[in-house]
């Protein structure tokens, strides 16, 4: 059998194993047979004792499994782990690091090949094969073990995340071990509390089919359940009326539409008439929809699939007379779930919810958007989270660093309590900066804008002295609906934004979808969406969508004249010229319809892709202003998807290429007399904001939560100092060193807490 076939079968057998120990046993037996050798063993690293424990073997003494271990740097196994590379020896006993373990009976084996089992740069264990005859294992055998090690590392990492590798060599019991999980930040902040695991309200899968002798009674029960769920949804909508705008509560309208008599209920009633009891009829309808949606593999249908599942569970709960139990939600509850829907979230006592953590989801999911509007720290996409074992577990959620700590140590709890206390004091202290200009001690004035999407952003931005809107994310009202909003609906939404800040400018970005921002009703199925059909490419291909949005913006600005329009994902001059043509057409149409003179708004472009960066002078010369989208530009320059937890740590705005590119944009745009702003996380980070000011950016656009922090920093550091710092860092070739230099400078000014709230300098040194 070919090695590739052996690997495939082995990985399949491992996936089908009932538990980790069984999987390890499958591996050692299969490897021994595949390499025609006498011994195969797996040693796993016990983090608590810092020792490699023999966890599976075929060829050594089976009684040694779980009872024999080696120190972290002990023996050949320890050497493999230390070097993080394979070791191949034909006479292992002659090696100075050879360590004989009499309990294993390995003294008869001379040849040794050990390969580290690694996941995300961490050694999890060592895979070893041995043989009596002195033999140097061949290159194909080395390659086989390296490939297998990479394949099984995920299985071992998952077991460690579930706590199955805790204290392998020590007596069982005792205090639960602290664990760290990584995900993607959905809404920033820090919280300490106890986990409350959210399970579905009812288990549809367990409902059997059952012939009913009284269809009329089943129909009555179903109609009562239907009324109950409709009332639930309406109550949720009412509950959130003061917290979310109508467009942000559109999901509830979707739910009620699904519960219309001619939608899902009609199918259930038909099956009750056919003889099935209400619960079975409901389950069969939901099952049928779920299977159809899954088979189609369509993003829109996947979104609706989750809604159908949620409604099915709610209906079943009423049928079973199991409406949501009166669960205890103490103060500082941390909601945990595989996936928490928006409806489930807002059904909670929000005043007691400290944070949210989910296994699935994305930073721009509907739930994450609502969590941001409510100010609840959220981490999503924590795929290895052992949800079933977390109820009432003490946790720390650090959404600044996208980390979740389970069973944190006393020292860690103490540290984060201090951070939370200092954050509250900091926020209170920043109030003094609300009405002050962002002006440096040596008289340089910066313009600070707020970035908005939800109306909650508008209120907070105005409270904190924003001088306008640097970026209005117009896609958010589109994302919160199950259809394209009409021109009039868009006009009303845009008017609220424009009037809230008049006469200050409001920069509205044209619809920016695609990539990681799909609309559920406008699916885009691509192999590489980040480099695909997105932003201006979509709207220029669909001028009917572009024109409706442009007309709505122009109508919303009548009498206010503070609208600026921003084109996303620009990569060529042609795209700008085509958009300008459509803008002039829209102005002409609206003037004729409204019988008013329309002031043509300023038109700007976003610099997000490398082609626009290189051609910046050509592009800037034909528009009114330039705005850098720092999040996407950094992502494209570094080829890093910041929503991918595997590579998210490589995403850094302090990368020399990013900083030098930004300086180039400012220099080239100013050379043709065009103002340059920047929006994204860099503008709102106090550390990078200093560098951006020194580069010559005319404005910074950021989330409302960062306005006061950035204003305080800019009012503290003179422009001359900032320029000296910029000149120094532009000569550095290492992102970590650059970040340390910036933060040490801020630490000298007493501004450390504004920079990295979850990490403090120790002994004058900045932590990595």
Residue length, the chain? 768
Out of 164-173, 340-349, 396-405, pick the least confident: 164-173
Q: Looking at residue 562, what is its pLDDT?
A: 96
Distance, CA of 230 to CA of 241 (rounded, Å) = 17
Is the torsion defined by CA of 692, 693, 694, 698 positive or negative? positive
Q: What is the CA radius of gyration of the chain?
A: 30
Token digits of residue 337 = 């779930």
- Please give the structure tokens belonging to residue 556: 């919303």
Residue 667 confidence (pLDDT) above 50: yes
Q: Which two tokens stand for residue 126?
A: 């060592």
| CA 710 centroid distance within chain | 24
By CB atoms closer than 10 A (0-12, 13-18, 19+), residue 402 is buried
| Predicted pLDDT at 610 | 95
Q: DSSP letters of 698-753?
A: SEEEE-GGGHHHHHHHHHHS-HHHHHHHHHHHTT---HHHHHHHHHHHHHHTT-HH
Sign of CA dihedral 295, 298, 302, 304: negative
If one compares 382 and 245, the residue with the highest pLDDT of the two is: 382
Within 120-246, strands assigned E span 122-131, 179-182, 184-187, 190-197
What is the C-alpha to C-alpha distance for residues 634 and 636, in angstroms, rounded to an integer? 6
pLDDT in tens, 736-766: 999 999 988 988 887 766 665 555 443 344 3
Q: Which of 288, 296, 304 is nearest to 254 (CA)?
A: 304
**Confidence at residue 762, expressed as pLDDT on a 0 to 100 scale:** 38
DSSP state of 276: B
Q: Please name the residue ranges forming H helices in 347-454.
A: 366-374, 410-430
For residue 88, list its beta bridge partners: 113
Catalytic positions are 366, 679
**Better pLDDT: 292 or 377:** 377
Q: Alpha helix locations (H) across 431-529?
A: 455-463, 475-479, 487-501
Q: What does the pLDDT average to over 680-705?
A: 93
Residue 301 pLDDT > 90, yes or no? no
Higher pLDDT, 102 or 190: 190
- pLDDT exceeds 60 at position 78: yes
Confidence of residue 590 (pLDDT cuts 50, 70, 90): very high
Backbone angles phi, psi at 80, to 5 degrees: -60, -45
Which range among 109-123, 339-353, 716-730 shows the weakest confidence by mean pLDDT?
339-353
Strands 394-398, 190-197: pairing is: antiparallel
DSSP secondary structure string for all residues of 289-332: HHHHHHHHT-HHHHHHHHHHHHHHHHHHHHHTT---------TT
Q: Is the pLDDT of residue 513 over 60?
A: yes
Cα 484 from Cα 513, distance rounded (Å): 12
pLDDT band at 162 (very low <50, low <70, confident <90, very high): low
Q: How many CB atoms lie within 10 A of CB 198?
A: 21
- pLDDT on residue 148: 86
Place of tokens 């019988």: 595
**What 8-state DSSP symbol labels residue 690?**
H
Q: What is the pLDDT of residue 161?
A: 66
pLDDT at 116 > cutoff 90: yes
Using alpha carbons only, give the angle 228, 232, 237 rounded to the nearest 5 degrees: 150
Quote the CA–CA distance of 697 and 689 in Å, as a whole number: 10
Q: What is the mean pLDDT of the chain?
A: 85
Average pLDDT over residues 288-295: 72
Rounded percentage of the chain residues whose pLDDT exceeds 70 = 90
SS3 call for 230: helix
Q: Are 205 and 343 in contact (CB under 8 A)?
A: no
**Model confidence over 611-649: pLDDT tens digits?**
999 999 999 999 999 999 998 999 999 998 876 767 777
Q: How far apart are CA 319 and CA 288, in angstroms?
A: 19
Which of the four pLDDT bands, split at 50, 70 and 90, describes residue 343? low
Q: What is the mean pLDDT of residues 111-133?
A: 90
Q: Who has greater pLDDT, 36 or 487?
A: 487
| Local confidence band at 177 (pLDDT 50, 70, 90 cut-offs) | low
User: Is the pLDDT at 397 greater than 60, yes or no?
Assistant: yes
DSSP string, 591-615: HHHHTSPPPPPEEEEEE-SHHHHHT
**Phi and psi angles of residue 629, each rounded to the nearest 5 degrees, phi first:** -90, 90
Please give the residue that has the higher pLDDT: either 746 or 100. 746
- What are 627's two structure tokens? 């705005």
If you average pLDDT over residues 359-387, what whole number do you get? 80
Residue 678 pairs in a beta bridge with 628, 700
Q: Output the CA angle 641-644-646, nearest 5 degrees.
A: 115
Position 175 pLDDT exceeds 70: no
How far is the C-alpha of 738 from the C-alpha of 693, rounded, in Å? Answer: 16
Distance CA 35, CA 3 (A): 10
Contact (CB, 8 A) for 214 and 221:
no
For position 108, what pLDDT does the model report? 75
pLDDT digit string, tens, across residues 470-484: 999 998 888 777 788
Judged against a pLDDT cut of 60, whether residue 71 lies above it is answered with yes
- Reference 146, options 260, 5, 14, 31; nearest CA is 31
Q: Given this model, what pLDDT does residue 378 score?
A: 94
Per-residue pLDDT reduced to its tens digit, 256-271? 888 888 888 999 999 9
pLDDT, average across residues 525-542: 86
CA distance 307 to 343: 9
Q: How confident is the model at residue 299 (pLDDT cuts 50, 70, 90)?
A: low
Half-sphere exposure of 534 toward its Cβ, with a 13 Å CA cutoff? Answer: 21
Confidence of residue 201 (pLDDT cuts 50, 70, 90): low
Q: Give yes or no for a contact between 379 and 403, defined as CB atoms under 8 angstroms apart.
A: yes
Q: Which residue has the higher pLDDT, 654 or 68?
A: 654
């Amino acid at each position: 059998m070919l090695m590739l076939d052996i690997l495939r079968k082995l990985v399949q057998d491992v996936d089908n194993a009932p538990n980790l120990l069984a999987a390890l046993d499958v591996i050692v037996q299969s490897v021994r047979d595949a390499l025609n050798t006498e011994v195969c063993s797996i040693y796993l690293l016990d983090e608590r004792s810092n020792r490699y424990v023999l966890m599976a073997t075929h060829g050594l003494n089976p009684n040694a499994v779980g009872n024999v271990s080696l120190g972290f740097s002990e023996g050949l196994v320890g050497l493999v782990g230390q070097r993080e590379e394979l070791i191949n020896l034909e006479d292992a006993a002659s090696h100075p690091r050879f360590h004989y373990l009499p309990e294993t009976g390995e003294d008869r084996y001379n040849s040794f090949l050990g390969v580290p089992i690694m996941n995300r740069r961490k050694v999890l264990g060592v895979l070893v094969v041995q043989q009596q005859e002195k033999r140097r294992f061949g290159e194909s055998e080395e390659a086989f073990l390296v490939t297998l090690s990479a394949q099984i590392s995920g299985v071992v990492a998952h077991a460690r995340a579930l706590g199955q590798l805790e204290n392998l060599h020590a007596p069982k019991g005792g205090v639960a071990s602290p664990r760290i999980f990584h995900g993607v930040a959905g809404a920033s902040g820090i919280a300490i509390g106890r986990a409350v695991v959210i399970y579905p309200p009812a288990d549809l899968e367990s409902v059997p089919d059952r012939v009913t002798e009284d269809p009329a009674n089943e129909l009555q029960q179903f109609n009562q359940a239907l009324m109950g769920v409709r009332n639930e949804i309406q109550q949720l909508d009412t509950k959130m009326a003061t917290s979310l705008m109508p467009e942000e509560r559109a999901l509830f309208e979707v739910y009620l539409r699904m519960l219309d008599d001619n939608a899902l209920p009609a199918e259930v009633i038909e099956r009750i008439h056919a003889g099935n009891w209400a619960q079975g009829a409901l389950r069969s309808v939901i099952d049928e929809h779920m299977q159809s949606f899954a088979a189609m593999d369509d993003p829109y249908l996947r979104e609706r699939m989750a809604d159908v599942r949620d409604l099915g569970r709610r209906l079943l709960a009423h049928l079973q007379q199991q409406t949501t139990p009166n669960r205890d939600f103490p103060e500082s509850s941390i909601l945990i779930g595989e996936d928490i829907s928006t409806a489930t979230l807002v059904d909670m006592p929000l005043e007691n919810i400290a944070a949210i953590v989910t296994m699935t989801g994305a930073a721009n999911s509907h739930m994450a958007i609502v969590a941001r509007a409510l100010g609840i720290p959220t981490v999503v996409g924590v795929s290895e989270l052992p949800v079933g074992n977390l109820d009432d577990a003490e946790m720390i959620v650090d959404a600044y660093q996208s980390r979740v700590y389970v069973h944190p140590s006393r020292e860690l709890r103490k540290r984060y309590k201090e951070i939370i206390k200092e954050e509250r004091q900091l926020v209170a202290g920043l109030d003094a900066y609300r009405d002050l200009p962002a002006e440096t001690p040596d008289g340089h004035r910066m313009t600070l804008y707020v970035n908005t999407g939800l109306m909650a952003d508008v209120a907070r931005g105005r409270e904190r002295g924003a001088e306008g809107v640097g970026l209005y994310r117009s896609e958010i009202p589109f994302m919160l609906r199950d259809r394209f909003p009409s021109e009039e609906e868009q006009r009303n939404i845009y008017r609220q934004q424009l009037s809230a800040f008049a006469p200050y400018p409001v920069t509205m970005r044209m619809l920016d979808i695609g990539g990681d921002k799909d609309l559920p009703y406008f699916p885009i199925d691509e192999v590489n969406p980040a480099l695909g059909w997105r932003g201006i490419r979509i709207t220029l291909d669909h001028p009917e969508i572009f024109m409706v949005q442009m007309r709505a913006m122009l109508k919303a600005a009548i009498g206010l004249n503070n609208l600026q329009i921003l084109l996303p994902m620009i990569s060529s001059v042609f795209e700008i010229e085509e958009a300008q043509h459509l803008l002039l057409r829209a102005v002409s149409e609206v003037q004729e319809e409204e019988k008013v003179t329309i002031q043509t708004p300023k038109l700007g472009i976003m610099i997000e892709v490398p082609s626009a960066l290189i051609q910046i002078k050509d592009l800037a010369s034909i528009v009114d202003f330039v705005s850098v989208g720092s999040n996407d530009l950094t992502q494209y320059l570094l080829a890093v998807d910041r929503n991918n937890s595997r590579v998210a740590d490589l995403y850094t705005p302090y990368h020399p290429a990013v900083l030098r590119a930004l300086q180039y944009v400012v220099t080239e745009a100013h050379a043709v007399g065009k103002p340059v702003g920047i929006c994204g996380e860099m503008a709102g980070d106090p550390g990078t904001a200093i560098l951006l000011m020194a580069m010559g950016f005319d404005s910074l656009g950021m989330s409302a939560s960062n306005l006061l922090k950035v204003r305080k920093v800019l009012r503290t550091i003179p422009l001359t100092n900032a320029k000296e710092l910029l000149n120094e860092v532009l000569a550095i070739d290492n992102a970590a060193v650059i970040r340390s230099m910036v933060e040490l400078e801020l630490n000298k000014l007493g501004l450390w807490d504004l920079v990295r709230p979850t990490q403090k300098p120790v002994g004058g040194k900045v932590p990595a």
